[in-house]
Chains A and B, each alone.
Chain A
Amino acid sequence: MDFELIAESLPRLAEGIDETLLLAGSSLVIGFVLAVPIALLNLSNNGTVRTLSSGYVYIFRSTPLLVQIFLIYYGSGQFRAELQAVGLWFLFRESWFCAILALTLNTAAYTSQIIRGGLQSVPWGQIEAARSIGMPGFMAFRRLIFPIAIRQALPAYGNEIILMVKSTSLASTITILEITAIAKKIISATYQPVEVFLIAGAIYLSLNFIVTRAIMLVEFWLTPHLRVDRRIPPVVRRTPAPVPAP
C-alpha cells in the first residue's frame, strides 16, 4: 500500500464528487418528473397508451445502460447532417447532454414502475372515501393518493437512487470527468491501480451510505403513524382501599 499516493489522489478524486452528484441528481430529478406521467399512462384504461408506455419501460429496462449511452452519444454522429439541419446538433455534440439524456430515460423507466407500484398499493376504500366527501379528482390525488403512494414507494426509490449513483460511473466512458474517469487518469500516470480504485470505491460507498441514511430519515418523517410508542407508561400507585373491619 502506497499511503503517499492515497493521500495525494484523495483530494483529486474528491473533485469528481461534484460531477457524479450533478449527473445523478439532475437525471434523477428530470427522470422523476417524466416517471409520474409514464406511471399514470401505465395505469390508464386506454389500451394504446398503456402499450406505448409499458413498451418504453420494457425497452429501457431490458437493455444495458452502456448501450443506451453509446447509442445516443456515438449513434447521433451518424445523423449529424440531419441534426444540424434541425438545430439540435449542438446538444448531441456535448457528452454531458448525452450522458444526462441516457441516464434520465433509463431512470424514468425504472422510477415509473416504482411509482406505479406505490399508486396501486393505495387502498380503494381511501379513494372511495375521498369521493364520498366530494373531493375533486386532482385534490384527492394531491392530498391522499400521492402521499400514500410515496410512502410505499420510498424504500424502492432509495434503491434506485443508489443504482443511479453507481450508474454515473458509465459516463466516464464518454469523456466525462467524474470519479471513475479521474481514477483512471491517475492510474494511467502512476500505474498503481489498487490504491486508487480502492479510494474511488470508498468514495462511492460513502456517498451511497449517506443516501441510505437520508432515505431512512425521510421514511421516519413520513410515517409518524407507524411509530411504536416506546415510552414506558408511568406507574400509577393507588393507595390501597382500606380493608373494611369485619
Chain B
Amino acid sequence: MELSYLGWGDAGWGDEFARGALMTFAVATCAFLLSLVFGTIFAAFKLSSNLLLRAVADVYTTILRGIPELLVIYLIFFGGGQLLQTIALGLFGYDGYIDLPVFGVGTLCIGLSAGAYSTEVIRGAVLAIPRGQIEAARAIGMNQGQRFWRILVPQSARYALPGLGNVWQFALKDTSLISIVGLVEIMRTAALGSGSTKQPFTFFITAFLIFLVLAWLSQRVFLRAEAWANRGVRSA
C-alpha cells in the first residue's frame, strides 16, 4: 500500500479528503437538523386527534421507511429535475437542461428519510412524558408555547436523545449515497482518487477510517448530551 498518495497538497489526496470530510459533516448536520424539523411536525401529526393528519404522517413514515434511501435519492434527483424542466418549459419556454443543486437536494433526500425515523423517536419520547405534567402546566396558566418549550422539549429530549443519536448515525452513513449523484464528499473523493491512481484499496480504506472516526466522535458528543439532559435525574 502506497501511503504517499494520501499526502497534503497538489501531489496527494489528503487535503481533498479533509474537504470531503467537511462536506460529509456539513450535509449530515443539515440533513439531521432537517430531519428534526420533519420529525417534530410529523410526530405532532401522529399524536393529533385529527384523523387526516394522522393518516398523512402514517403514509410518510411507512413509505420512507419502506423504500431504499438510494431510490429516494434517485427519485427526487432525477424526478425533481424533470419536474423543474417541465415547469421551466411551460412557464418560461426554457428547454435547456437544469442542474439541481446537489448539496440542497442531497440534504433534502437524507433529511426526508431520516425524518421518518426521527418521527417515531420523537413520538415515543413525547408519549413517555406523564400527562399530569402537561395538565399541571396548564393549571398554572402556561400557554401552548410555554408548555412546548418549558415542559415538553426539555423532558422529551431526555428520552429522545439515544434514539436521535441513532438517527444521526443513519444520516451520517447515508450521506455516502449522495456521492452517486455527484456530491464531492468522502466517498466521491475516494472514488475519484482510486480512479486516477489505480489504488482502490488505499482510497476506500481511508474513506472507511474517516467514517469510523466521524462516528466515534459524534457518539461521544451524544453521550455528553445525554449526560447533560439527564443531569437532573438520579441514577444508580
Contact = CB atoms under 8 A, between A and B. Distances in A.
Contacts of B177: 64, 66, 170
Contact of A162 (B1, B66, B71, B176): B66
B211 to A, nearest CB: 5
B208 A68 contact: yes
Interface in A59-76: 59, 61-68, 70-71, 74-76
Contact of A67 (B198, B202, B204, B219): B204
Interface string A189-221: 001111001101100110011000000000000
Interface residues of A, number: 41
Contact of A197 (B66, B71, B194): B71
10 contacts: A62-B216, A64-B175, A66-B177, A66-B179, A67-B208, A74-B204, A166-B69, A169-B71, A205-B63, A209-B66
B71 A201 contact: yes
A21 to B, nearest CB: 14
A70 B211 contact: no
Contacts of A63: 173, 208, 211-212, 215
Nearest to A71: B204
B13 to A, nearest CB: 15
Contacts of A66: 176-177, 179, 187
A180 B190 CA distance: 23
Interface string B200-223: 111011011001100110010000
Contacts of B66: 162, 166, 204-205, 208-209
Interface stretch (B38-46, B75-83, B122-130, B132-140): B75-83
B204 A184 contact: no
Interface of A: 59, 61-68, 70-71, 74-79, 162, 166-170, 172-173, 180, 183-184, 187, 191-194, 197-198, 200-201, 204-205, 208-209
Contacts of A184: 74
Please provide the 7 A-B residue pairs with the shortest distance between their CB atoms, ordered closest to farther: A62-B215, A193-B78, A169-B68, A75-B201, A74-B200, A64-B176, A78-B201
B153 interface: no
B67 to A, nearest CB: 4
Contacts of A78: 1, 198-202
Given A169-B68, A205-B66, A64 B187 contact: yes
A157 to B, nearest CB: 16
Given A64-B211, A193-B82, A205 B173 contact: no
A197 B212 contact: no
Contacts of B215: 62-63
A174 to B, nearest CB: 12
Given A193-B74, A194-B79, A205-B67, 15 more contacts: A62-B212, A64-B177, A67-B187, A70-B191, A71-B208, A78-B198, A78-B201, A78-B202, A170-B68, A170-B177, A180-B71, A193-B81, A194-B78, A205-B66, A209-B66
Nearest to A197: B75
